[in-house]
Amino acid sequence: MFTGLVLGKGRLIEKHPSGGGMVFGLEADFDLTDPEEGESIAVNGVCLTAMAIQGRRFKVDVSPETLSRTNLGALAVGSVVNLERALRLADRLGGHLVSGHVDAVAAILSRKPDGDFVRFTFSVPEGFGRYIIEKGSICIDGISLTVNHCDDRTFSVAIIPHTLAVTTLGGRRQGETVNIEVDLVGKYVEKLLLAKTADGSAAKSGINPAFLAEHGFMK
């Protein structure tokens, strides 16, 4: 589990096929204090297992499923990525709960300056817009961000100068793709609302869209 508060950047220094997937060699721009072989590290928002840790360098296996769901397969040697080590129970939860299980790849529709900030607008694959809400949280390439505006196929975020400086978003341009992970809560609520009994009929529940709207959870 992660928070979406990027710890630093890493550079891809090695990439080769392995068993239908890939093996990446990465070098962080920060010290991996108390490194643990097999620990989880988020790479552009993707939870991967760190192996062969030597100083700031480590390797990760990237499965075929991960390559099909994320933009990691498009990275070239020399590419820069966002890195975050796994959350500890004693840590501050400054972002939001992020699983590191990317839902989809989104395209950057536009990048526009707004004072010292930059406003990004993204397109999302069909079906994912229902999980994104205005002023809700979303994880973009491992960065916890707040949604400013959204509809069924697009959403926008405003990026502060600090985030532009310390993450890869500062160098992102229109047409490029990013990994997105929507808020976990919405997916669980949807599954509960659509639950079925053993015979396939809809399960009865006191929680439904009308209930959620009445209590201020939906507009």
Sheet containing strand 117-123, edge to edge, reads: 143-146, 137-140, 177-182, 104-114, 117-123, 154-159, 149-150
Domain boundaries, the chain: 8-85, 104-186, 187-219
Give percent helix, percent strand, percent coil of the chain, each to the nearest 5. 15, 40, 40
pLDDT-derived band at 207 (thresholds 50, 70, 90) equals: low
Distance (Å, rounded) from C-alpha 84 to C-alpha 21? 22
**In this predicted model, what pLDDT tens digit does every residue of 132-177 receive, in sequence order?**
999 999 999 999 999 999 999 999 999 999 999 999 999 999 999 9
Instruction: Kindly report, residue by residue over 4-63, the tens digit of the pLDDT.
Output: 999 999 999 999 999 999 999 999 999 998 889 999 999 999 999 999 999 999 999 999
What's the predicted TM-score (pTM) here?
Answer: 0.87
What confidence category does residue 204 fall into, taking pLDDT thresholds of 50, 70 and 90? low
pLDDT tops 90 at residue 91: no
* Euclidean distance between CA atoms 146 and 153, whole angstroms: 17
Task: Provide the 3-class DSSP secondary structure of residue 116.
Answer: coil
Interval 62-71 mean pLDDT: 96
Cα–Cα nearest to 58, from 25, 10, 105: 25
Q: Which fold has domain 8-85?
A: Elongation Factor Tu (Ef-tu); domain 3 (2.40.30)
Alpha carbon distance 167, 4 (integer Å): 11
What is the CATH number that goes with domain 104-186? Answer: 2.40.30.20
User: What does the angle CA 110 – CA 81 – CA 89 come to, to the nearest 5 degrees?
Assistant: 110
Q: What is the mean pLDDT of the chain?
A: 92
Same topology, domains 8-85 and 104-186? Answer is yes
